[in-house]
A and B are shown apart, each in its own frame.
Chain A
Amino acid sequence: KQWSSQQAAILFGNVLSRTDNYTELSAFILQGFQCNAAGKLSAGQLSSLVREVKMKNANLSDGQLSCAARLLANHNLDANFTDYPPDVLLFFPLDQVDGANCERFYSLASQGDLSLLANGSAQRTRLLENALRCFGVGNSTALRKEHLQHLGAFVCDMDASVINDSDPEVLQNLKLCPELSNSQVMALNTRLSSGTPPYNAPESWNDSTLEDLGPLAFYINRSIWNRINGQERVAFFRSLSDAYDGQSAAQKEK
């Protein structure tokens, strides 16, 4: 059944007490993860439960993820972090991430939904600092392609100067950001208007270039829009209008 998260939360304790074959549990049930019920599981049961959350791509809240991460750490289960959803890794106690595995850990964690952690929170700040130290980036704002491919959404919290100083791959990282700051939007427009790869001069863009920009297209300023061929712009808006058909007014307005 497509249980709501509220219903699943009520069922969760009873379900855990009736089975420990968690592959039977749907994502609808798993989204009901309750800290007090999971706290009663053995290490093996807990590990396979969190693994199932990953397999079924169940959606957990920040409170549930934080509890799961703490229970795994309490059971010393954080070593096999590759089995767990990236969102859980965002909440891991970072002092227990050892140097040998840090690259693997932080590139997996960077695939998590960073907006689960409050902007400027201690955990979010330490995640970025540790990841940069782990990949040997230090304070540099000129990130190479291989760095960027590992850092994922962590780049969203970096200084806007990274956008113009780094490899063009940085635009793929920016697409992961829930929101861009004003300084990041200015830096993005500076980079796009410069005509450098991968998109080159706006005059050469067509509607598939705009589509490839994904969410970044909504940050383009007026002077860049005016350099884009008129028909390509209208074609882009028509494809957008179809793509957003049935979407909310707020999204259409953007």
Chain B
Amino acid sequence: ATEECQSGPITASTLEDPLFIILYDSAGQFDACLDKEVLRGSLATLLEQPLPNDYLVVMKRKLDELYPSGVPEDQLRLLGFLAHQYNAEEIRRWNVTSSDTLAALLNPDNGAWDAAPLRELVARYIASGGTLSNPILDLLGGVYLCYLGEDQLQQINPEAIRNAEKLDISTCPQSKKDILYGKASTAFSPEEGTSPYYSLIQPYLGGASAEDLKKLARSQVDMDINTFLNLNPEELQALSVQDVRGLLGVNLPDLKGAEREPSVAGWIRRQYQSDLDTLRIGLTGGMPSPLPTGSSNDRVNAS
């Protein structure tokens, strides 16, 4: 500490006042008055205070001095939002052997993780023998799942996806959506053709092939427009007007409001205007049909 403690040392009893921080109104005083042993013994209580960032920096420096070879696992569980002060390199020195520790560190109440430290955290857990079971997938949720490396995603057992909660993977890059869709379609294949199938596979359709989407189009799923806009743009281009009508069903009118979305605009440009007109939702920008009164059947006969 660079200055003398003027407000008296911080002790376990001082910490009982929920607003004790008013007495230590600068990071310098907080540093001068906080003994490392008190920090070791009252980490959780201290972290219940609404501490500004520069106070957290002080606490982290003292913890680094207390634990030069890395914060021990029992203290990791108490770190709360202080954990977000650690970068990937520092996390590489942690031992994360239990899912309880991982759960505590991933608690969304304590703020959001960036990709690199999150990937390292999960790598430490897997390195200690942990598996990406469904409770862990639920903890990670969609956003963090997309942060994992493709090698880490490949290790997920389809059974874990089958038992996991809904995972929103819309923020994943396409390659990861494809991996997760592959796992999900294996996991839910027993339900294919039954009414619950669509609500099970829907979160993962961003990785679905055109062939699978055509199959869905024939089973009246009434896909919502957000799911449709998150389909793989390349696979979407391979769908016909009938496929899209089958997929969207009652939500078809929402396509008009999304006609300027890149994937939809590209799809419209590849359709005959006469086919688009059969949807009766005012889509324009399709190709002129080769025959004056051409419809898709005539086009098939013509070709």
Interface residues of B in 195-239 (CB under 8 A from A): 195-196, 198-200, 220-222, 224-227
Q: Is the CB of B250 within 8 A of A67?
A: yes
Chain B residues with CB under 8 Å of A37's CB are 195
Q: Is the CB of A70 within 8 A of B251?
A: yes
Q: How far is the CB of A10 from chain B (nearest CB, A)?
A: 4
Docked CA distance A62–B18 (Å): 40
- State which of A64, A70, A238 has its C-beta within 8 Å of the C-beta of B250: A70
Interface residues of B in 97-129 (CB under 8 A from A): 108-111
Q: Is the CB of B200 within 8 A of A10?
A: yes
Q: Is the CB of A35 within 8 A of B165?
A: no
Q: Does B257 contact A (CB under 8 A)?
A: yes
Q: Does B249 contact A (CB under 8 A)?
A: yes
Q: Does B166 contact A (CB under 8 A)?
A: yes
Q: Is the CB of B199 within 8 A of A34?
A: yes
Binding site for B on A (CB under 8 A): 4-6, 9-14, 32, 34-37, 39, 62-64, 66-67, 70-71, 74, 122, 234, 237-238, 241-242, 245, 248-250, 252-253
Q: How far is the CB of B256 from chain A (nearest CB, A)?
A: 10
Q: A13-B196, A66-B224 in contact; A249/B50 too (CB < 8 A)? A: yes
Q: Is the CB of A250 within 8 A of B109?
A: yes
Docked CA distance A13–B250 (Å): 16
Q: Does B94 contact A (CB under 8 A)?
A: no
Q: Can you name 8 A-B residue pairings with CB atoms under 8 Å?
A: A6-B165, A12-B199, A36-B221, A67-B251, A234-B19, A241-B18, A249-B81, A252-B50
- State which of B80, B110, B166, B200 has its C-beta within 8 Å of the C-beta of A5: B166
Chain A residues with CB under 8 Å of B50's CB are 241, 249, 252-253
Q: Is the CB of B250 within 8 A of A6?
A: no
Q: Does B150 contact A (CB under 8 A)?
A: no
Chain B residues with CB under 8 Å of A9's CB are 166, 196, 199
Chain B residues with CB under 8 Å of A252's CB are 50
Q: Is the CB of A36 within 8 A of B200?
A: no
Binding site for A on B (CB under 8 A): 18-19, 22, 47, 50, 80-81, 108-111, 165-166, 195-196, 198-200, 220-222, 224-227, 249-251, 253-254, 257
Q: Is the CB of B109 within 8 A of A35?
A: no
Q: Is the CB of A36 within 8 A of B110?
A: no
Q: A9-B199, A249-B111, A250-B111 in contact; A71/B80 too (CB < 8 A)? A: no
Q: How far is the CB of B282 from chain A (nearest CB, A)?
A: 14
Chain B residues with CB under 8 Å of A14's CB are 195-196
**What 9 A-B pairs are tightest by C-beta distance, nearest first?**
A63-B224, A248-B109, A13-B195, A9-B199, A35-B222, A10-B196, A252-B50, A6-B166, A36-B222
Q: How far is the CB of B161 from chain A (nearest CB, A)?
A: 12
Q: How far is the CB of B229 from chain A (nearest CB, A)?
A: 11
Chain B residues with CB under 8 Å of A241's CB are 18-19, 50
Chain B residues with CB under 8 Å of A70's CB are 250-251, 253
Which A residue's beta carbon lies closest to that of B251? Answer: A67
Q: Is the CB of B110 within 8 A of A248?
A: yes
Q: Is the CB of B249 within 8 A of A35?
A: yes
Docked CA distance A95–B198 (Å): 32
Q: Is the CB of B19 within 8 A of A74?
A: no
Docked CA distance A64–B225 (Å): 11
Docked CA distance A5–B168 (Å): 13
Chain B residues with CB under 8 Å of A122's CB are 257
Chain A residues with CB under 8 Å of B200's CB are 10
Q: Which of A5, A249, A252 has the most CB of B within 10 A?
A: A249
Docked CA distance A39–B110 (Å): 41
Which B residue's beta carbon lies closest to that of A70? Answer: B250
Q: A238-B19, A241-B18, A249-B80 in contact; A35/B195 too (CB < 8 A)? A: no
Q: How far is the CB of B254 from chain A (nearest CB, A)?
A: 7
Q: Is the CB of A66 within 8 A of B251?
A: yes
Q: A6-B165, A63-B226 in contact; A39/B250 too (CB < 8 A)? A: yes
Docked CA distance A66–B258 (Å): 14
Which A residue's beta carbon lies closest to that of B165? Answer: A6
- State which of A4, A5, A12, A35 has its C-beta within 8 Å of the C-beta of B251: A35
Chain A residues with CB under 8 Å of B108's CB are 248
Q: Which of B18, B195, B253 has the most CB of A within 10 A?
A: B195
Which B residue's beta carbon lies closest to that of A62? Answer: B226
Chain A residues with CB under 8 Å of B254's CB are 66
Which B residue's beta carbon lies closest to that of A37? Answer: B195
